[in-house]
Structure 1
Amino acid sequence: MISRHFIDVTNADGSRRRVHYRRCGRGQPLLMVHQSPRSSAEYAGLMAQWGQYFTCIAPDTPGFGQSDPLPGSPDIADFADGLVALMDALGLERCPAYGFHSGGIILVTALKRHPQRFTGLAVGGYAIWTPQEMAIFGESYLPPFQPTAYGEHLTWLWNRMLEQSWFFPWFDVRGQARLPGAHADVARVDQAVREMLEAGDAYRAGYGAVLRAPRDIPPADAAVPPVLISAYAGDPLQAHIDRLGALPAGWRAEKVETPADHQRVSLEWLLGLPPVAEVPLREAADEGFARVVTADFDGLVHWRGPAGATARVAAPGRAISLFAGAGIDAPGHGLSDDWSGGSGRAAWDAVLAEVARQRGFAGLAFEAPAPGDPALLYPDLTPDRFGSHLARAWSAVRAGCFFRPWHQASAATAIPFDAAAITPERLAAAHLALLQARSARAFHTATGDQDGNS
């Protein structure tokens, strides 16, 4: 079972940043570094498989998922050193690691700079770009990603993430750039879109550092831990296996047929490395996830704040990311797991009360839900082939700044508004919270009569 945690890490300049990580399994630790512009969520399935052999630890890299970005204008060395700083914070002295694509670039850089911290690596694809390929990328690969007042950025984002499996680079719409594994898998595209929405413009720092990184494999006589680099047919980086050149002793590069073959050879390689003792991992004290099991719910609930505080429960359609102080994301909202239980208020109260008990909150204060019919307040945001659910959510959030309820635009329903509340940045935060509110209707129906503290 995957658990989720936060931890604070010290940067090179002495500042602190918060890192989110997933954990699964037991036994010796295995660090897993995701590709850009994704998050550790992409490893959920793999962690469930490999958790029988390792304690899998998958952080969101800086600026992605729920992790804070690195300060300044970081390069690949900063990301590598930041990963080692995370290992320090977690209490990991030495361990094996796995990374895919840009995750592998970060890991190889970290291994070269801190070889004593790794028993070895398994890497999925390692890019060795030619000067001509880098010229094609230029600045086109990482355009600024800024929210716009009317949500136009969402159309670009959906199609950019959809077509990145059609062409590589994604913007190079030529026959020569077509990929063999093109798809229109709505669930996969939607997950990637949500991760980009979480990262925002910070994606350019992390992705840019990887693209600008020198692709220097250690010389053949270098004394470095062993590394396996493998890539499957259809991966645009499989051809780069032939560009690696002479490898250090103990390194191996291999072309395989399928993603499953890549995962198989990677696991075999990792299991063949010198074993490392299991260690207790550390985590932040003021934010985390409570594992709650009731008759109606079995999952993780996100909380924030010190023990003894009164926790604010975000209203249906909202998340605690929208306000400061102690709070709880109800199931099916924010970072909490989906709700699958009963529809009555008692079922929801039981879950929230258990979170409060585990955390030691003094009580709960419910944000008042918006007035109106839940069926109209919360539009159907099921992802579709054209990404139109993104526009529906944006329109609802924007209209909600001017009318109450938002779906009745008239003089009678107009409400005062603050210009600061309708900046694209504020709208983008509320938009992401609404997309995350998969159980808004059910929560509203169950708790809509709640008007006080509990």
Structure 2
Amino acid sequence: MITRHFIDVSSGGNSRRVHYRRMGKGPPLLMVHQSPRSSKEYEELMRKWSNHFTCIAPDTPGFGQSDPLPGEPEISDFGDAVITFLDALGIAQCAAYGFHSGGIILVTAVKRHPNRITSLAVGGYAIWSAAEMQLFSDRYLPAFHPSDYGEHLTWLWNRILEQNWFFPWFAADNAHRLSLSNDDPARVDAVVRDMLDAGNAYQAGYGAVLRAPRDIPDRDAIVPPCLISAYDGDPLQEHIDRLQEMPPSWTAEKVATPGDHERVSLTHLLATQTPMTNDFPKAPDEGFLPVQTDQFDGLIHWRGEQGASRLVLHPPAKAALATPSQGHIAIDLPGHGLSDNWLDRIPDQWEAWEAVIASVAATLGTDETIYPTLPAGDPDRLYPDLSPDRFGVYLTTAWQIVRARHMFDPWYMVNHDNAVAFEEQKLLPDHLAAEHLALINGYSAKEYHTALHTR
């Protein structure tokens, strides 16, 4: 089972929170994701490699659920950040794997801290020409901020969708067509959600990677062994030919498929011995609990004060309080926020939800549960199907719902009798963006509402 954790990392007098995923047994393997993704993109690979390694995949600064770095960080700061993350976990040495920009971060880390990585595997290493760098600098990383009426969501969907068709994404011409195009809503949605989590912080992390100097360590540099590989259809495969002289322990090769890339990477990583590591420390006020009942088997996200006596439940289609009051612990219920969803069928009877809540309360030691006020309205209309669709309509539908919720009760009854007073500040885009993310993450909102009604 993949578990999820938070840890506080201190460096230069600053402390930031890092979220990471973990799975497996054996020596540690640090896995650094590409931009603008999160560690979630490695879940499938972690399952494949967990028999060989303790796979540890952090969200890099500013992505996923990890805090950004202060100021205007460069690639050296991101390279150092993965090392301070290892420090916080108590890992002296480990093997490492990174894909695309994750590989660039790790190569930087290896050059600055060669004794910390025992072996490195990279999926595609970019060596940009001056002309390519100029092309990227003009349009590749526009600012990404929420807008009043959700216009940013239309842009985001199409930007991520067409990155599957062209590279770079904005160069919509025959010269920049990709050979492995797709329009799979689930694949596009996964990247869209990572971008929504990152917000405009994506500029810092992605920008640092694009600006990074593309210099392989000198031939006589004392560095751990490294394999760089890229498969057919990867836009960085041709960059294998741009690599110049490398240290003797560094190699590069072109392979046919993503599966071949994974195979040669694993073989390379297993060729070098890495020391084992003990258990890792965790953040004291936020984490994930493994919970197993007849209908749920997954992780429940919690935040608050350990030893608190009160457990706070959120309303349907919302998420746990960002800062629970003293003496309270807030959780994301299944199919909400950062918690896992139900197994096969989302239950609409209270007994199934109560079993999860009771398990969490027993583990956390709370003795009182605070229930939310049930919203008025028909659950079928309050929570329409927001499954990802080919055209990204679910994103703008959800945005219109969170706006209307502040002005009418229920939101779908738009008339004088259902108009409600509202706080104008809550219509600001940043506030709506948080509500919007909670709504599209509320996979089980309708069933939770129905269950609460029967409680």
**TM-score normalized by structure 1?**
0.97
Q: CA deviation at 1:24?
A: 0.6
Tell me the equivalent position of 1:328.
Answer: 331
Q: Which amino acid aligns with 1:338?
A: N
Tell me the equivalent position of 1:5.
Answer: 5
* Correspondence 1:93-242 to 2 at 5 A: 93-242=92-241
**Residues 105-139 of structure 1: CA deviation (Å, up to 9, x unaligned):** 00000000000101010000000001010011113
| CA contact 2:304–2:324 (8 Å) conserved in 1 | no
| CA contact 1:167–1:173 (8 Å) conserved in 2 | yes
Q: CA deviation at 1:320?
A: 1.4
The answer to whether 1:429 aligns with 2:428 is no
Tell me the equivalent position of 2:388.
Answer: 383
Q: CA deviation at 1:293?
A: 0.7
Tell me the equivalent position of 1:402.
Answer: 407
**Residues 370-425 of structure 1: CA deviation (Å, up to 9, x unaligned):** 11111110011011100000011111100001011001011111111111111000
Q: CA deviation at 1:31?
A: 0.4
Decide whether aligned partners of structure 1 residues 190 and 62 sit closer, same or farther in structure 2, where only a CA change above 3 A counts.
same
Q: CA deviation at 1:250?
A: 0.6
| Distance in 2 (alpha carbons) for counterparts of 1:256 and 1:196 | 30
Q: Secondary structure in 2 aligned to 1:115?
A: coil
Match of 1:374 among 374, 379, 394: 379
Q: Secondary structure in 1 aligned to 2:6?
A: strand
Q: CA deviation at 1:342?
A: 3.4
| Distance in 1 (alpha carbons) for counterparts of 2:131 and 2:138 | 14
| CA contact 1:11–1:70 (8 Å) conserved in 2 | no
**Residues 54-104 of structure 1: CA deviation (Å, up to 9, x unaligned):** 000000000000001001110000111111110000111100000000000
The answer to whether 1:346 aligns with 2:324 is no
Q: CA deviation at 1:357?
A: 1.5
Q: Secondary structure in 2 aligned to 1:37?
A: coil
Q: Secondary structure in 2 aligned to 1:320?
A: coil
What is the number of residues matched between the two proteins? 449
Tell me the equivalent position of 2:365.
Answer: 360
Q: Secondary structure in 1 aligned to 2:84?
A: helix
Q: Secondary structure in 1 aligned to 2:402?
A: helix
| Distance in 1 (alpha carbons) for counterparts of 2:99 and 2:336 | 29
| Distance in 2 (alpha carbons) for counterparts of 1:124 and 1:308 | 44
Q: What is the RMSD computed on CA atoms of the aligned residues?
A: 1.1
| CA contact 1:404–1:415 (8 Å) conserved in 2 | yes
Q: Secondary structure in 1 aligned to 2:300?
A: strand
**TM-score normalized by structure 2?**
0.97
Decide whether aligned partners of structure 1 residues 363 and 308 sit closer, same or farther in structure 2, where only a CA change above 3 A counts.
farther
| CA contact 2:349–2:454 (8 Å) conserved in 1 | no
Q: CA deviation at 1:274?
A: 1.7
| CA contact 2:350–2:454 (8 Å) conserved in 1 | no
Tell me the equivalent position of 1:252.
Answer: 251
Tell me the equivalent position of 1:315.
Answer: 315
| Distance in 1 (alpha carbons) for counterparts of 2:347 and 2:440 | 22
Q: Which amino acid aligns with 1:263?
A: E
**Unaligned ranges ≥5, structure 1:** none
**Unaligned ranges ≥5, structure 2:** none
Q: Secondary structure in 2 aligned to 1:285?
A: coil
Q: Which amino acid aligns with 1:29?
A: P
Q: Which amino acid aligns with 1:196?
A: M
Q: Secondary structure in 2 aligned to 1:9?
A: strand
| Distance in 2 (alpha carbons) for counterparts of 1:85 and 1:114 | 11
Tell me the equivalent position of 1:447.
Answer: 452
Q: CA deviation at 1:367?
A: 2.1
| Distance in 2 (alpha carbons) for counterparts of 1:222 and 1:391 | 52
Q: CA deviation at 1:366?
A: 1.8
**Residues 252-308 of structure 1: CA deviation (Å, up to 9, x unaligned):** 101001000000000000010123213212211211111111112111111111223
Q: CA deviation at 1:248?
A: 0.3
Give runs of ≥4 in structure 1 deviating > 6 Å: none
Q: Secondary structure in 2 aligned to 1:405?
A: coil
| Distance in 2 (alpha carbons) for counterparts of 1:422 and 1:207 | 29
